[in-house]
């Protein structure tokens, strides 16, 4: 593993351009090979990436296997996909010895797993360093499915993510499984009542009780389209069919319900925003979980390059005509959905600022033919 203690360089799309040109091809082919044999590995790799980034940033410290490591913690016991990363690393060592970090491998594998499951593609800057510190006790704050929405929001904010990212990244539960141990308390003894969680759809409750007779069993997070990356997850929430307590709470809290509702209507909106939120997740790089967006560019759409300098958001269109000017705005205490000029992407310019909750929802509902947002800046 490449040492995280070395000096940190900015993430870049050209890190391996001269040292390991086919890095993404090698990773994709290996992930494809494994997912073809076992489709359940696709959501497992996405979850493994999230757990890695949730502690000390995206540094592959979740891969370290020793007593007292993150990997040994209770919250990590159901994690899968380690063998996929090991296989990719072995292949890359043959082609590009001591070059590609495990952190970059895991980040890219999660992206490719999403694509292979039918989800969106997004570009990934490289240059993450591998961590050498991995402590089980630091996983204590990683969500397990029983938290309140307030606790989840605070956790995400501590990582530089916002409420929109919380709801969108929860949508990864459109594929994959959970252990029955994580949900049995909702089925039989919710909050010590000796009764099931009253918010569960009765038909869904019967289904879960049949599927989860034993804590060691697994159950699909999305009972309708379990292996398809779509918006069914959000539609399930409307029917009180969220598997985890934290899933269903998204549709009962005023801070998250409008977003979940909006995403249920438009698959393109979910796909595009999932890409944006995954990029933000993958850019959590240090123990303080601060996003280093100020010094890096993010490619969105075909030719658009976003850069943040100081407290200004600049939207640059390198291939646009001179008539396309830079869009600059203060982003302190704002969240902005940015659309780039039609001369570059075919979309109109439509900056929307200070958006949250019902404001975001009203904007979405007011659109006539709208195109999905391409970038969100907290």
- Measured CA to CA, the distance from residue 24 to residue 32 in angstroms comes to 12
Residue 72 has pLDDT above 50, yes or no: yes
Full domain range(s) for residue 129: 23-139
Structural domain contains residue 87 = yes
Q: What's the whole-number mean pLDDT along residues 237-241?
A: 98
Task: Say whether both 169 and 132 belong to one domain.
Answer: no
Q: What's the whole-number mean pLDDT along residues 184-206?
A: 96
Average pLDDT for the chain:
80
Cα–Cα nearest to 100, from 43, 19, 205: 19
Q: How confident is the model at residue 124 (pLDDT cuts 50, 70, 90)?
A: very high
Task: Say whether both 157 and 212 belong to one domain.
Answer: yes
Task: Say whether both 172 and 209 belong to one domain.
Answer: yes
Structural domain contains residue 15 = no
The predicted structure's pLDDT at residue 286? 66
**What's the half-sphere exposure (Cβ side, CA atoms, 13 Å) at 24?**
14
Asked if 51 is an active-site residue, the reply is yes
52 labeled binding residue: yes
The predicted structure's pLDDT at residue 325? 31
Q: What's the whole-number mean pLDDT along residues 92-115?
A: 97
Task: Say whether both 126 and 165 belong to one domain.
Answer: no
Residue 136 has pLDDT above 70, yes or no: yes
173 labeled binding residue: yes
The predicted structure's pLDDT at residue 1? 60
What number of other Cβ atoms are within 10 A of residue 13's Cβ?
A: 15
Identify the CATH number of the domain in which residue 45 sits. Answer: 1.10.520.10
Domain end residue (candidates: 139, 166, 198): 139
The pLDDT > 70 percentage for the chain reads: 73
Conformational region of residue 29, where left means phi above 0, alpha means psi within -120 to 50, and beta covers everything else:
alpha
- Structural domains in the chain (count): 3
- Read off the pLDDT of residues 44-56 as tens digits, 9 standing for 90 and up: 999 999 999 999 9
Residue 374 has pLDDT above 90, yes or no: no
Structural domain contains residue 205 = yes
- Read off the pLDDT of residues 141-150 as tens digits, 9 standing for 90 and up: 999 999 999 9
Task: Say whether both 186 and 121 belong to one domain.
Answer: no
Q: What's the whole-number mean pLDDT along residues 11-25?
A: 95
- The answer to whether the beta carbons of residues 278 and 169 sit under 8 Å apart is yes
The pLDDT > 90 percentage for the chain reads: 72
- Read off the pLDDT of residues 145-170 as tens digits, 9 standing for 90 and up: 999 999 999 999 999 999 999 999 99
Domain end residue (candidates: 89, 104, 139): 139
Task: Say whether both 247 and 341 belong to one domain.
Answer: no
Task: Say whether both 125 and 38 belong to one domain.
Answer: yes
Structural domain contains residue 16 = no
174 labeled binding residue: yes
189 labeled binding residue: no
357 labeled binding residue: no
Q: What's the whole-number mean pLDDT along residues 31-55?
A: 98
- Which stretch of 111-120, 183-192, 236-245, 298-307 has the lowest confidence by average pLDDT? 298-307
15 labeled binding residue: no
- Read off the pLDDT of residues 248-296 as tens digits, 9 standing for 90 and up: 999 999 999 999 999 999 899 999 999 999 999 999 986 443 334 333 3
Structural domain contains residue 7 = no
Residue 93 has pLDDT above 50, yes or no: yes
User: Which residues lie below 8 Å from residue 139, measured CB to CB, with a gap of 6+?
Assistant: 51, 54, 55, 70, 73, 75, 76
345 labeled binding residue: no
Task: Say whether both 177 and 254 belong to one domain.
Answer: yes
Task: Say whether both 58 and 109 belong to one domain.
Answer: yes
Name the residue with tokens 């570009």.
Answer: 123
276 labeled binding residue: no
Name the residue with tokens 């696709």.
Answer: 42
- The answer to whether the beta carbons of residues 331 and 377 sit under 8 Å apart is yes
Structural domain contains residue 179 = yes
In 3-state terms, what secondary structure has residue 122? coil
The predicted structure's pLDDT at residue 140? 95
- Which stretch of 10-19, 34-43, 340-349 has the lowest confidence by average pLDDT? 340-349
- The answer to whether the beta carbons of residues 258 and 149 sit under 8 Å apart is no
The predicted structure's pLDDT at residue 285? 82
Task: Say whether both 157 and 257 belong to one domain.
Answer: yes
- Measured CA to CA, the distance from residue 1 to residue 69 in angstroms comes to 16
Identify the CATH number of the domain in which residue 159 sits. Answer: 1.10.420.10
Residue 377 has pLDDT above 70, yes or no: no
Structural domain contains residue 4 = no
202 labeled binding residue: no
Residue 352 has pLDDT above 90, yes or no: no
Q: What's the whole-number mean pLDDT along residues 309-327?
A: 31
Task: Say whether both 155 and 131 belong to one domain.
Answer: no
130 labeled binding residue: no
Residue 313 has pLDDT above 80, yes or no: no
70 labeled binding residue: yes
Q: What's the whole-number mean pLDDT along residues 60-72?
A: 97
Q: Which residue has the higher pLDDT, 360 or 34?
A: 34
Q: Which residue has the higher pLDDT, 78 or 290?
A: 78
Gap between the terminal Cα atoms of the chain = 32
- Which stretch of 48-57, 60-69, 162-171, 323-332 has the lowest confidence by average pLDDT? 323-332
The predicted structure's pLDDT at residue 311? 32
Which of 49, 51, 66, 369 is flagged as catalytic? 51
Residue 357 has pLDDT above 50, yes or no: no
- Measured CA to CA, the distance from residue 25 to residue 157 in angstroms comes to 34
Task: Say whether both 331 and 349 belong to one domain.
Answer: yes
61 labeled binding residue: yes
Q: The pTM is what?
A: 0.76
Structural domain contains residue 308 = yes
In 3-state terms, what secondary structure has residue 2? coil
Domain end residue (candidates: 139, 174, 190): 139
Highest mean pLDDT out of 125-129, 328-332, 337-341: 125-129
């Amino acid at each position: 593993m490449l040492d995280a203690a070395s000096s940190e360089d900015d993430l870049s799309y050209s890190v391996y351009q001269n040292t390991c040109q086919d890095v993404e091809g090698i990773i994709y082919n290996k992930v494809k090979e494994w997912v073809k044999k076992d489709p359940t590995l696709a959501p497992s790799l996405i979850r493994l990436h999230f757990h890695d980034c949730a502690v000390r940033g995206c540094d592959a410290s979740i891969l370290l296997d020793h007593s007292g490591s993150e990997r040994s913690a209770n919250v990590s016991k159901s994690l899968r996909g380690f063998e996929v990363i090991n296989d990719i690393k072995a292949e890359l060592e043959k082609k590009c010895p001591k070059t590609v970090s495990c952190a970059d491998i895991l980040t890219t594998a999660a992206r490719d797993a999403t694509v292979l499951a039918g989800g969106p593609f997004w570009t990934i800057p490289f240059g993450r360093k591998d961590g050498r510190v991995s402590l089980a006790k630091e996983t204590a704050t990683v969500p397990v499915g029983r938290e309140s929405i307030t606790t989840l929001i605070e956790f995400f904010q501590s990582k530089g993510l916002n409420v929109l990212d919380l709801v969108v990244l929860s949508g990864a539960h459109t594929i994959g499984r959970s252990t029955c141990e994580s949900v049995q308390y909702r089925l039989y003894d919710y909050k010590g009542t000796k009764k099931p969680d009253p918010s569960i759809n009765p038909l869904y409750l019967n289904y879960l009780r049949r599927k989860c007779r034993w804590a060691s069993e697994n159950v699909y997070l999305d009972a309708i389209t379990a292996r398809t990356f779509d918006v069914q997850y959000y539609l399930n929430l409307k029917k009180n069919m969220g598997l985890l307590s934290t899933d269903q709470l998204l549709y009962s809290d005023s801070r998250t319900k409008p977003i979940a509702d909006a995403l249920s209507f438009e698959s393109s909106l979910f796909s595009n925003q999932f890409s944006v939120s995954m990029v933000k997740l993958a850019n959590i790089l240090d123990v303080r979980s601060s996003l280093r967006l100020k010094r890096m560019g993010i490619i969105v759409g075909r030719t658009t390059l976003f850069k943040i300098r100081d407290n200004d958001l600049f939207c640059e269109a390198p291939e646009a005509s001179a008539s396309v000017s830079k869009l600059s705005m203060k982003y302190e205490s704002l969240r902005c959905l940015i659309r780039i000029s039609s001369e570059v992407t075919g979309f109109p310019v439509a900056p929307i600022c200070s958006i949250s909750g019902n404001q975001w929802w009203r904007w979405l509902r007011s659109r006539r033919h709208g195109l999905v947002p391409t970038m969100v800046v907290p």
